[in-house]
Every structure is written in structure tokens, then in C-alpha cells.
Structure 1
Amino acid sequence: MRLPSWLSQHLAALRALLVLTVVTGLAYPLFLVAVGRLPGLDGKAGGSLVTVDGKRVGSSLIGQSFTDADGNADPRYFQSRPSAAGDGYDPTATSAGNLGPESVVDTLADNPGDASQSLLTQVCARSLAVGKLEGVDGSRPYCTTDGVGAVLAVFHRDGLTGPVTRVVSVNQTGTPFVATYGGVPVEPATIGQDYQALGGVVTPVRGDAPAHPVVPADAVTASASGLDPDISPAYAALQVPRIARERGLTAQQVRELIAGHTDDRALGFLGEPGVNVLELNLALDGNR
């Protein structure tokens, strides 16, 4: 007996569904699980977790904070780069800050929950904090001495041209970082005012900070994922004096530890060398 064409087509589709379900929904996943259990691969398949005395202390693939009981940077440990993932290094909320180089004007508000910092101010504040922690110059171009973006809204008589008629330090409600600009006194910002909408030309001011800041870029910017476990050798080197002082080690001993936990470029030419912060800190504690 020959089945109707519509029924034979549905039966063929059902058989294909069952076969593909078994192959791609059962056999293939189970095969990958089995491969992940092979010696040498099992640790990586499990998340590259790091254990000390049987206790999980993190993953070599995910960064984490090293802070004291008050949430401040613990001076005994190397510090990681900033994170924009959730409250920091949250693998369930991996993300970047989504702020670009044109993000230079802060949103000022009476309610801290409504305020937000521009990327420039975030970088300035972080650089100042790192400089204070490491005892170095944390200044950067286009940053004020109190760690906000050095940005003015400049008003001209003819809109974009002509003599300057008014100047506002858009990221400061207190004393402006410069007294005058173009011969005009600089005003502090008023909360709630959009000076760009009023016709002000956003003008970052470079200042007299060195062209090459002491604090490296990865110390003040988050990675795209917010989970980067590595820092640059330059940022690690910046932390050597503090670590040596806090640990009672020589600077050379700390540098040797850094060298032992520095990964070269992938395939010898891709990316940049990186220092795994978790593994380096475990080595400081004598656990690696």
C-alpha cells in the first residue's frame, strides 16, 4: 500500500528530526563532555579553576579584586585592571562600559544614583588613585588635579566663532581647574544644565601632564569583557616597590616572580604579553 505523499513527507521529516536530535542533542554533547574529561583537558573544561588546599580561590581565566575588609586595594597584593562587568569581574554580567573617546562630559546630579561619570573622568580618577597607591605621579593629559575630566564649555559670540563670551567647567561644581580661558573667568557647572544644548563648545584642556603618563593604560581602563585576568608587564612593574615593601622582599625577587607568571604573545606575534594576577598573588603567598 502506497502512502499519500503528504504523509510520507511528514514521516521523513519526523525521522530526520529524531536522527538529528539523537546526533546533535545527545551524541555530540556527550562526546564533547567525554573529550573534556581527558587528562590535560579536564581542568580547562571545568573553567580553569584554581584551588589552594582543596579550596577554590578563583579561575585563571577570570580576573578578581584583591581588597581588604573595607573594600580598599590590599597593598600586599598585585592589583588587577578595572572591570565593568556587573559589580566587577562578574561572569554572568560580562560587558564593557560602552563609552568611547568622545565621552568627556559627566552627568551631574544631586542624587548620586542619577549622576554618571564620563570615560575621561573615570580614567582620571583611576589614574589618581593608582598614583596614590603606588606613590607615583598619577596625572594624565586632560585631567584635573582632583581627578575629573578637564573640560570646558566655551561660548562664542557668533556661535562657533568670534570672541569668547562665557566659559564653564562642565565637570566641576566647585572651584574650576582654571581661573580664566580666553580672557574670560571660568564658571563652575550648575547641576542639571546641558551646556552643549545651550551652545557651548566642548573643549578638553590638555594641561601640563606628561605626554606619557606613569600609570599604564590598562591600570585605568577596563577590558571589553570586564573579566581580563591579566595585566601588562608595565603595570606589574609599577607595583613592584609597593609589593616588595609590604612583603619584606627585594625588588629583584618580586621581578623574578613576575617573570615566572608572564605569558608571551600568542603564537609569538599575536597580542601583547600578560601577567596573570591571581597566579602571581598566589605565588606571593607561597602557594605557587
Structure 2
Amino acid sequence: MHFIDVGQGDCTFIAANGMTMLVDCGEYEVSSDVISYLKSLGVIRLDYVVATHPHSDHMGGMARIIRVFDIGEVIIPHIPDDQLPTAVFFDKFLESCEDRGLSLTEATPGMVLELGRARAEIVSPADIKYEDLNNYSVSLLITHGSNSFLLTGDCEAEAEYAMLESDRLQKVTLYKAGHHGSSRSSTYEFLKMIRPKNAVISCGFENPYGHPSNITLKRLQEYTDKIYRTDICGNIEAESDGSTLTITCEREIK
């Protein structure tokens, strides 16, 4: 699992037994970097592309990704028609899928994606209408042997509570903190359920949002002192052999 440094955005690449998944890709401006990174790993095909929700810091460059690689399945959340964005990046994403003959799969809780010897279960979004698009984020609980990983996009408290009520969560080996470590995510109740042994935060250096929040960092520190940030560590790689987890960073934490 590679947490690719895309500044103030999100991009996670997962490879298992020859199968691949890309979850988000950051802004359009960093799409060349993401493409170069994936090609350096020898990636030709993405079996799954997950666009967690229609905000440009998560899928601004997705149209370009789709045009470069061989794509299997594209997964998106269901967004009510009156909340669909009219942004250029989203229109280009839809156009790129149409041009490549790709249909879109709407994420539903309980849907399972087989990823080699790993298993990715969609645990959010629930069938609820939210005011904030962040809460529609596609969230994945990925298991590989005894290791488990939780990716929640930009889910905030409302979506986290819905996940808790769904009874699909468990203790996790690694949690990618929701919404770049925002104070409105990684709530006390949520962390009490998942009790992460490691945490990764994707955020930009000195970003204008103050991510990650000191409040969130303190909540995470109740469960782990192994907190990795892309603004400090650069690209972060988590390698699972099914029992142990090894985390390496592009830049050493000082």
C-alpha cells in the first residue's frame, strides 16, 4: 500500500498478488507525478479505480489517469442529482470514462472487491442524504491475513457514526485518517472502535486548513505513537506479508 504524497490531497495505491487498486489521485496539477510514480512501480493496469467523492483534491486528475492506464472497474459513490458538482474536473472524469467505454459502479456497503489475497469491503457511504459531499466518501476496509487497513476518504462525524451503526468495523492495523486529519473526523467514538496500531495522514505542507488538527493528533495518540504524515514523510509505503506490517517513508521522521 503506497500513500503517495500529492500535497493537500489524497492518493493511495494498493498492489496484491498482481492485482491493483488506485484510491483517489489528488489535484490535476500533480497527475504527472502520480502517473510517473505508478509507472516506476511497473503499473500498466489498474484493476480498480475508486474515486471516493467528487472533490478536486481527491479526483482532480482522475480523467488523465483513466486515459493513461488500462482500467478495470471504476467505483464512485451515489450522489443525489441535486448535489452533483458542475466542476470541469468532474465533467472530464465522466467524459474519460465514456471515451474508454467504462461503466461506473456505485459503491454500496457490503460490496467486496477481491484484490489478490487481499479483500476490500466497502463500508460507506450508507443510504443517507448528507449536506456535505465529504460524507459520501467511499470507505474501504481492506484485510490481508491478520492485517487490516481502513481508508475513509473525507468522511466526517456523520458518516463515521453511520459506519459504527452498520457493525462493519473492527480493530485495524492501519488507519488512513479521514479528511486529512480534520478535527471533524476521527471522532473519539470512531477511534474507540477501530483502535488503530498505525495511522497515516495525507496533507500538504503548511496547508491553509491547519490539517492535521492538534485535536485529532491527540485523539490518535491515545492509540498509537506511529503516526505518519505525507507532509513530513513524503511517500509512505506499508508492506504486509499477511502477519507483519513494515512501514517505510521517503523522508525520515525527525
Question: Structure 2-normalised TM-score?
Answer: 0.25
Bigger Rg, which one: 1
Question: Structure 1-normalised TM-score?
Answer: 0.23
